[in-house]
Structure 1
Amino acid sequence: MCKGLSSLPSSCLGRAKDLRVKLSHLAEAHNKHKFQDGKALQDLETLLINKSGLQAFRGFLRSEFSEENLDFWLACEDYRVSPSTMQKIKSSSIYNQFINPDAPQEVNLDAETREALLSVTESPCAETFNQAQQRIYNLMAKDSFPRFLRSPHAMITIKAF
């Protein structure tokens, strides 16, 4: 019958505790030192500006059935740098693709943000999607990106750099 940890000599317990502390420090260091172009891969922004990082993140999001978040964010980036003559067309396309409740790639936005977008789609400007884009970016940064870092997709990305 097992007598528990109290039956072990104190020297064994002390060594086990030391090993546990060292292993936790190693695991923490491993997560902090995933490098990308000499920089630690610690933020989503760094990942999104690199072509292979973006592809790996897309693959990860696809595996989680949330690729629409990245597609929306990229569409907003494209919209922001588009000439004003194209904004009305692109605004309508983004709304129909991602915002409309029946959209094929509907993103998860709160009702207030969705209503605000509906009211400005008739007269869009360069900042039309800024708030919605920031909300989706925050969602990816706080939710998807940390899971990505723990996934095999991140390991492939790191090896590619």
Structure 2
Amino acid sequence: MRIHLTAITNESRFNFSAPKEEAYFKMLGEDELLASRMKENHFRNKDKKSRLSLLLTKSGSHENVSPEKKPPAKTVHIAPDVALRWSNSFEELMNHSDGVETFTQFLRTEFSEENIEFWLACEDFKTTESATKLLSNAKQIYAVFIDKEAPKEINIDHTTKADIEKNILQPTHFCFDVAQDKIYGLMKRDCYPRFLTSDIYLTLTKRKGPVTMTRRRSRSFVFTKRAEGTAAWL
């Protein structure tokens, strides 16, 4: 009789028509079920954050998404004459590794470093060799810089975003080119002129005022202090 009652009790505790996992959690109780699900969500969120932060370690400012937690700036020794050449053009600045690093430091002060970080990520993306990595890296760039909830969302138009969403399904090395060109143009028109008048750049060039674009001067006629008071060509 005791055996029969035990069988009935056990049968009432389990619904064998339900999935095995559900029956198992009913046996553990509601507390254990909640704890298990919370643990699963914790590791899932942790894995997502790890994947999103992969690209954020590509450059000096990529360690932290929060602007309140910026890494210390690197101390770079740059000759003033080298820094002065960066005022010739934005292209010359971006073709110099120290120029890119210095420009990145300036953008941090304006809380707009996501622009240079996206540009650098695209440059690195173009060197990807494996097709598998190409897809993975494309999704990571989208998650970090393009998605509406991206931690470092760049300012591009809706049409460009929509095109990228389609392109990354079967990505090529050029699927971010349009967005990259837009960000490059934005930095050139908007950020670069302010960079040339910033304290960061003026300190490097040992100047106290804004740097003007370097131009060659034509031969000019000037007066020199001579006894006979005649003019001389220099």
Aligned-pair identity (%): 37
Name the TM-score, length of structure 1 as normaliser: 0.72
The one-letter code of the counterpart of 1:69 is N
Match of 2:146 in 1: 99
Partner of residue 141, structure 1: 188
Q: 1:76 aligns with which of 122, 147, 155?
A: 122
Cα distance in structure 2, aligned partners of 1:89 and 1:44: 31
Map 1:120-131 → 2, pairs under 5 A: 120-131=167-178
Shift of 1:37: 7.1
Q: Name the count of aligned residue pairs.
A: 126
Q: Partner letter of residue 144 of structure 1? A: C
Q: Which residue of 2 aligns with 1:63?
A: 109
For 1:38 and 1:145, locate their aligned partners in 2 and report how far apart those are by CA, in whole Å: 14
Structure 2: runs of 5 or more not aligned: 1-79, 207-234
**Letter aligned with residue 68 of structure 1:** E
SS in 2 for 1:36: helix
Q: Which has the higher helix share?
A: 1
- The whole-number CA distance in structure 1 between the counterparts of 2:84 and 2:109 is 28
Tell me which of 93, 98, 121 is aligned to 1:47.
Answer: 93
Change (3 A) 1:38 1:57: closer
**Alpha-carbon shift at residue 44 of structure 1 (Å):** 2.0
Q: Distance in 2 between matches of 1:77 and 1:40?
A: 20
CA displacement at 1:82 relative to structure 2: 1.4
Gaps of 5+ in 1: 1-33
Question: Conserved in 1, the CA contact under 8 Å of 2:84 and 2:205?
Answer: no
How far does the alpha carbon of each residue in 1:35-93 deviate from its partner, in whole angstroms, 9 at most, with x for none?
Answer: 53784523222112222211211111000010000000000000011114221111011
Return the letter of the residue paired with 2:185. N
* Secondary structure at 2:154 match in 1: coil
- How far the C-alpha of 1:156 sits from its partner, in A, is 3.6
Name 1:28's counterpart in structure 2: none
* Cα RMSD for the two superposed structures: 1.9
State the TM-score, normalized to the length of structure 2. 0.50
